[in-house]
Structure 1
């Protein structure tokens, strides 16, 4: 990805996909729109702030972060007055994307489309990320948090992975995934 990422997205799922990609590309992801007081110029730190934007204070926080050189990945209703203000203010700083884009990295899917990852497994990128974390010893709650998913969503993704792998338990899914990846 070239330049600083500026995104105004519709959902937390889109945010999670973009954040996962940016983290893989070496960006330091901060949950919330606040940035540290020092240093003023955040360009060199490759910092990205993330979060929902529902009021004028959140718009101001996101725009300040972008003005200081941070990337912004925000979830906002683009049809609302607040969302329109966010889009207009960020557009003065740089180009704003309104959806996850495969061009951000290697062209891998950023949605829930199966991606065989070269191993023939019919799993999505989210399912693979969760199973990788489980294989590394994380709990489902820790894996969900690390992947910017709610626990409920993570459990759904893991259940879908179990079904795709034709196994009954999460343990079996992790074993099958590790064996075949």
Structure 2
């Protein structure tokens, strides 16, 4: 299967810790991380290489921003650390958005907004101390469906364990202005 540029992951995050979380998740999905935004391959389409480029883009670093957008257009994944409120950060997000959806961080309300109601209900019950089986029964879900929903939530949060997913959910829910 040939990857299209719109299939490649594009993330703009505020901190290096968030970038590390995203990169760990992408590595588990089979992407190869490489620091910097310059592509080593002279071929135009690099989507089949499953390459994700990452790095920091400063407010006055237009060259890195241009390289990141070019890499994304050529099919590479991009994880950029920058101030999303600055003019350069907004311009980067706008340029990357022309290629497809841009994920803005892993610790923001974006992740909670991507959870379906079943996942939220399950995570709420797990946070209250229920087991997965008890939470599934209380939400009228099969245990298999509950396990799948929780696995999807773990992937969204970029964590490996259900405990980490519950903790990330609670942290983000506290920050989220709902």
Say whether the fold is shared (TM-score over 0.5).
yes
Residue 93 of structure 1 pairs with residue 139 of structure 2: no
Can you list the C-alpha shifts for 1:57-99, whole angstroms capped at 9, x where unaligned? 1111100100111011101101111111101110111110102
Relative to the length of structure 2, the TM-score reads: 0.58
Match of 2:16 in 1: 12
Can you list the C-alpha shifts for 1:73-131, whole angstroms capped at 9, x where unaligned? 1011011111111011101111101022487x7422447x98448xxxxx99xxxxxxx
Deviates more, 1:84-93 or 1:36-45: 36-45
Residue 29 of structure 1 pairs with residue 75 of structure 2: no
3-state SS in 2 of match to 1:94: coil
Return the alpha-carbon distance in structure 1 between the equivalents of residues 41 and 158 of structure 2. 33
Q: Which has the higher helix share?
A: 2
Return the alpha-carbon distance in structure 2 between the equivalents of residues 60 and 88 of structure 1. 12
Return the alpha-carbon distance in structure 2 between the equivalents of residues 3 and 60 of structure 1. 19
Contact (CA 8 Å) 2:69, 2:96: kept in 1 or not? Answer: yes
- Long gaps (5+) in structure 1: 118-122, 125-181
Using a 3 Å threshold, how does the CA distance of structure 1 residues 15 and 81 change in structure 2: closer, same or farther?
Answer: same
What root-mean-square deviation, in Å, do the aligned CA atoms of Structure 1 and Structure 2 show?
2.8
Matches within 5 A, 1:129-144: none
Return the alpha-carbon distance in structure 1 between the equivalents of residues 158 and 30 of structure 2. 17
Match of 1:48 in 2: 52
Matches within 5 A, 1:67-106: 67-100=73-106, 101=111, 106=152
3-state SS in 1 of match to 2:95: helix
State the aligned residue count: 117
Match of 1:178 in 2: none
Can you list the C-alpha shifts for 1:32-67, whole angstroms capped at 9, x where unaligned? 111113222111111110011111011111001001
- Long gaps (5+) in structure 2: 1-5, 115-150, 169-178
